[in-house]
Structure 1
């Protein structure tokens, strides 16, 4: 992996063994929401969905009030308030919790209602166990057959003190280098990075790969080029060309293993990209102090 020596990711543990290489790799997914009709447009909210192998991302533009209800939700899911002008109230059996501003909300399994008021962007992260939501994804047809080389989703251990609504401030100071802000729950890890002004220095990119999990990169503002390079297999007919996919916010890109990849901000204005992983990343979780809410969510045993 090509990290600058001052980047803390250069100290990440490496896998002891490399998983077997399939004869054919599943491709990346690039969903630019403005290219598709919204899956839902009611009153004050417009919503699109995109998915990967294990997860679904719901992206909503809100100007007013929206209510997101789940009945018999099979597992934890995440609500991200991406803007300061938003306030949310979460109702679950036996509790009601409010949050405002840029916040990550973890909603427990079962019945719940999330009411969001204000002007801004709301993201919901659900696993594909929520089949009703997965079917709404703009790229649902890409997953009629499971993608190769991605293990089945195994939720991480239950939170300390049991399931309940939990909220986390997305404006607390980030790690020094890279400036990550990492939170996890039983189903997701979120890396909420701050917006950057102007293009990324092309001499300081960070190409890297993952052996057995997808990366979901969500562009909330600006423009990016996702550079992706694929390994060669023994069958030349299955080789893939390099990708240099330009995307404009709002968009979701799913980068499957084991492709070499890096993302380059190119807009002269504000560029904002956040990363999501389902389930949480074991390598980031192994780094002392990296996951800000590790005390609430134990790491998976043996990872």
Structure 2
């Protein structure tokens, strides 16, 4: 289980203004849930509403308020509700200023509520390439759990924004999908968990992107490196060549930050200029 957190006594009131804790958990859920599922009939919304002391309708309304603050939503003509409060906007800005801290804090709040309601507090599930938690104890085990919480949030946020499909190939089998960092995890701590620093890619496209075999233009078109263009490998030609110049499928939310894309592109072009 993740470390516990001190929760104010009136953090989850059922009436009156929403508290900071309720809004944080609502936004945490918003980030990881497809836009089309932000409605009161969604079983996960019903479950979360019960935990935080609000009705499913009230929670669904709050989620759509957050959508009204999301440029990726409003920029495509879709609109959330217009009733976003100053505290809603503050929550939005607080997350964007410190994704890692808020992600861990929200998971601590969620685990606290599960225990308060007599429910099992789940440890985030491991990916196939991770170490089992039973092999570790104490601080090391806690650090691994927190790392999983962070990685799980980023993956869910990115995949749900891209409708669980690779934005280039259209592959939709989650076993083959990666939440790929545009700016590497190790290179930008502040944006490790920022969903706008992610692309949903198939495993092979993720590996190629990470190795700067291709990048994106300012208008989201695929730009192949000279290494791919000069490759004699039949498989690489068949997989990558047809995608050159095609625009990626854009996400419903958290569009890739242009500055992150530009940084990735500069790295590729500096290392492997296009002929």
More strand by share: 1
Q: Tell me which of the two structures has the higher relative contact order, counting C-alpha pairs closer than 8 angstroms and 6 or more residues apart.
A: 1
TM-score, with length taken from structure 1: 0.27
TM-score, with length taken from structure 2: 0.28
Name which one, 1 or 2, has greater alpha-carbon Rg.
2
